Amino acid sequence: MTFADKTVVISGASRGIGADAARVFAAAGANVALLARSTSALEELAAEIGDKALALACDVSDYAAVEAAFAKARSTFGSLDVLICNAGLIDPIARLQDATPADWAQLIDVNITGVFNMMHAGLPHLKAAGGGSVLTIGSGASQRPLEGWSAYCTSKAGAAMLTQALHLEEGDNGIRVLGLSPGTVATAMQREIKASGLNPVSQLDWEDHIPAEWPARTLLWMCGPDADEFIGTEISLRDESIRKRVGLV
């Protein structure tokens, strides 16, 4: 698709996949509304990108904050066309009996309720633009339990079901919904996982992880017609054929 005059809202945009997605979409001509709780890193990224970027401090688990951020983005750029539900936590990394209930609940609030909040607040804006794409970030952790990841695995399974539910309800109304399971990515989250020493993922070497630019470029590709056959499903970057179609190999 052509991204001129299109606006992409990215949560968790201050680092990792979200930050690289902001750079990739802006380079393709899109306006980018950047959401994160960390305002200093967000403002640095917006300054790097320039006039096409808008930094918006926002906790996605707070519905009113999401609604206000979307309204500001639309009033600034004129429309909202793509939502990238990227914000996510990995903590608490702890065996279930050792996890702090408040931390467990906070992860669920961000990783599941945050996705719902973006979908619910974003739908009126996408429909006003004549349709659009909603992209979620999945994980292989949604398919199997991993020691110390009870909250994360549960949240990613929930987010995957939200992706399917939105497709079921809004797929005939011009809303393209797709998920991306990126595999393990060289981000700060992987350093937290490594430090935990729990489960096989913490034993991976840094060189085993893909760069954040790969999922960012895949998200851009997912907005175009070549990805239409995958609407309503989750794409895996472990799949060599997907990497080839995106142009990563």
Residues identified as active-site = 152
Residue with tokens 């968790």: 12
Give the C-alpha separation, 116 to 102, whole Å: 20
Give the C-alpha separation, 129 to 123, whole Å: 10
Beta-carbon contacts of residue 115 (< 8 Å; ≥ 6 apart): 60, 85, 136, 159, 162
Residue type, 153: C
Q: Map the chain to HEC letters.
A: CCCCCCEEEEECCCCHHHHHHHHHHHHCCCEEEEEECCHHHHHHHHHHHCCCEEEEECCCCCHHHHHHHHHHHHHHHCCCCEEEECCCCCCCCCCHHHCCHHHHHHHHHHHHHHHHHHHHHHHHHHHHCCCEEEEEECCHHHCCCCCCCHHHHHHHHHHHHHHHHHHHHHHHHCEEEEEEECCCECCHHHHHHHHHCCCHHHHCCHHHCECCHHHHHHHHHHCCHHHHHHCCCEEECCCHHHHHHHCCC
